[in-house]
Amino acid sequence: MYTTLEVSIDGAIGRIWLNRPQCLNALSTETLRELAMAAHYFDSKEQVRVVIVAGRGRAFSAGADLQSFPQLSDPELRSAADAGREMADALEGMRAISIAQIHGWCVGGGLVLAAACDLRLAAEDAQFSIPEIDLGIPLAWGGIPRLVREIGPALTKELVITCRVFSTDEALRCGFLNRGVSWDQLEAASLALAEQIAAKPALPVFATKQHANAVTANMVGMNRSWSDADSLISGLVDPECKEARETYIQSKL
């Protein structure tokens, strides 16, 4: 069923492993759609109360895989540009509590994926960045309202506009993370938290998630993210943005 993920269930706990380690789990359009499919799958399994999202290999995720985007003339472009928003909405709307288990790099769209999870744990040596503006594109997929919700508007503006790298310690201090742990304890800590949540009665846990999400949705206006795909496409065709993207890519070669 999945070609870019590993999806499994063990009792009340589900797992999603991003499984493209050869490209640091870059999020292709196929991966985004499979993540949404996995979220819907877990919603059909009433016994699943917690889902852990993690990445195989050296990183959680290196962000959006722009190489997987269709050509600008392709009629599927708008749909592909919107796949990340649909992924984040599906994961955030899942009945189960989701836990992002972050190690290595958590970049751009990978950070949006983590922000769509209810809880976030990271290895102490994980690194975060949002390089979209250096790539000549806006942060899409509902990333802006999710970051404003988690860390506030001023820091969101700074991190998105400067594209600077930040650490687990800073992500913890600003409230993006619930916990930072040593790399060798990360998986055990995620599982222990998942087991603690799974042992609670399901109805009030679900009600708490829904109530918190309803309050923050009204605060940050998530529905406006529908137009993110159009802003993303605009960044792909703008000449100045294209030049910035080429410069950034060359600097990384």
Are 24 and 126 within 8 A, CB to CB?
A: no
Residue-wise pLDDT tens digits, 64-88: 998 888 888 888 999 999 999 999 9
pLDDT at residue number 72? 84
- Cβ atoms < 10 Å from Cβ of 167: 15
pTM of the entire predicted model: 0.96
What is residue 56's three-state secondary structure?
coil
Q: 8-17, 171-180, 237-246: lowest mean pLDDT where?
A: 237-246
Q: C-alpha distances in angstroms, 253 versus 131, 140, 187, 247?
A: 15, 25, 32, 10
Residue-wise pLDDT tens digits, 92-144: 999 999 999 999 999 999 999 999 999 999 999 999 999 999 999 999 999 99
pLDDT at residue number 222? 85
- The rounded distance, in Å, linking the Cα atoms of 253 and 57 is 21
pLDDT at residue number 213? 94
**Across the strands, what pairs with 181?**
123
Residue-wise pLDDT tens digits, 158-206: 999 999 999 999 999 999 999 999 999 999 999 999 999 999 999 999 9
Residue-wise pLDDT tens digits, 43-65: 999 999 999 999 999 999 999 99
Q: Is the pLDDT assigned to residue 247 strictly greater than 90? A: yes
User: Which domains, and CATH codes, for the chain?
Assistant: 5-183 (3.90.226.10)
Name the DSSP letter for residue 51.
Answer: E
- The rounded distance, in Å, linking the Cα atoms of 54 and 63 is 13
pLDDT at residue number 1? 85
C-alpha gyration radius of the chain: 17
Each as own residue / partner, the long-range contacts of residues 66-70 (CB below 8 Å, 24 or more positions apart, any chain) are 66/135, 68/26, 68/28, 68/29, 68/30, 69/29, 69/236, 70/29
Helix (H) or strand (E) holding 148: helix 143-151
pLDDT band at 228 (very low <50, low <70, confident <90, very high): very high
